[in-house]
A = this chain, B = another copy of it.
Amino acid sequence: MTALASAAAELGWEGWVARRQAQMERWLAEQLPADAPAGLADAMRYAVLDGGKRLRPLLVLAAWEATAAHHDVDPPATEPVWAAAGAVELIHAYSLVHDDLPCMDNDVLRRGKPTVHVQYGQAQALLAGDALQALAFEWLAAPPWADRDPALAVALVRELAEAAGAHGMAGGQAIDLACVGRRLDRAALEDMHRRKTGALLLASVRMGALAARAPAAVLAAISAYGRALGLAFQIVDDVLDVTGDTAALGKTVGKDAAADKPTYVSLLGLEGARACADALLQQALAALQALSAPRAQGLAQLARWVVQRQH
């Protein structure tokens, strides 16, 4: 019996999600600085804690559970998978803090709370985001586990830095900035989203599999899953920006249309966008067939959750 098979058998899908979310919340609360100078720790903790579905850490953990030679309900506390899950969430959190700034999306509401710059001021929000990015790499290189397996730590740093950087998330955001009011064709829209949100989602599952020391063929299957899921996530995001409601999403809806940003809905229509997301879900599930079905069920459920979510 494998990790997730046993965890799922004991906990069920919803029990698994709730358990991993709670573990991650606790891990983040313990690892985030409590004493950085001049309110910086407060702003960092506010940006990260008590919010979000923790989709990226769940993907890291589910990919680890799908591929690791491990049989308990929980990954051991000494495994690098926790640092990988935490680091990915820090990169996500910092990107939201910077993305919400007035010079970017100028958003005042995030996860149902005032955004970091509304709460702490723009300068502190900028610094908190910068410090969160540095902390992500600090966690990946932290003792004791990074000293025990430095080759893995290097692989994780490389994966995350590339996903976050100029050819990944930051590059996608630069395209996003440049294309307001312009019509992108489908290939250009896909390229933007593969970078802007897809790269970090792909990195999440790859880092989980890397942390599990998965062989190359398994890593390839996980990557195919991650690429399909990453794009599906963004398409559903575009759909929800039209059909969702602000209270349930915890962020302002209708902003893309108001900002005249190209989206999958503006390109394919609502039904076309939904059909595209469903097709990508099937692709993601098909990629998992290279893994044993019981072990891959966490990733399969996460893919369904991403595509069928209402917020």
Contact = CB atoms under 8 A, between A and B. Distances in A.
Contacts of A153: 150, 153-154, 157
Contacts of A57: none
A232 interface: no
A37 B195 contact: yes
A166 B146 CA distance: 21
B164 A134 contact: yes
User: What number of copies of this chain does the assembly contain?
Assistant: 2
A99 B29 CA distance: 28
A104 B123 contact: yes
A157 B140 contact: yes
Contacts of A104: 123, 126
Nearest to A192: B37
A204 interface: no
Given A146-B154, A154-B154, A166-B131, A36 B174 contact: yes
A134 B161 contact: yes
A172 interface: yes
29 contacts: A33-B166, A37-B166, A37-B192, A38-B174, A38-B177, A39-B174, A98-B130, A101-B126, A103-B103, A104-B123, A123-B177, A124-B174, A124-B177, A126-B126, A127-B170, A127-B174, A127-B177, A133-B133, A134-B165, A135-B165, A137-B137, A138-B157, A138-B161, A138-B162, A141-B154, A141-B157, A146-B158, A150-B154, A153-B157
Interface of A: 33, 36-41, 44, 94-95, 98, 101-104, 121-124, 126-131, 133-135, 137-138, 140-142, 146-147, 150-151, 153-155, 157-158, 160-162, 164-168, 170-175, 177-179, 191-192, 195
Given A40-B174, A103-B103, 20 more contacts: A38-B171, A44-B166, A103-B121, A103-B126, A123-B177, A124-B177, A127-B170, A127-B174, A130-B170, A131-B170, A133-B134, A134-B166, A137-B137, A138-B165, A140-B157, A141-B155, A141-B157, A147-B151, A150-B151, A153-B153
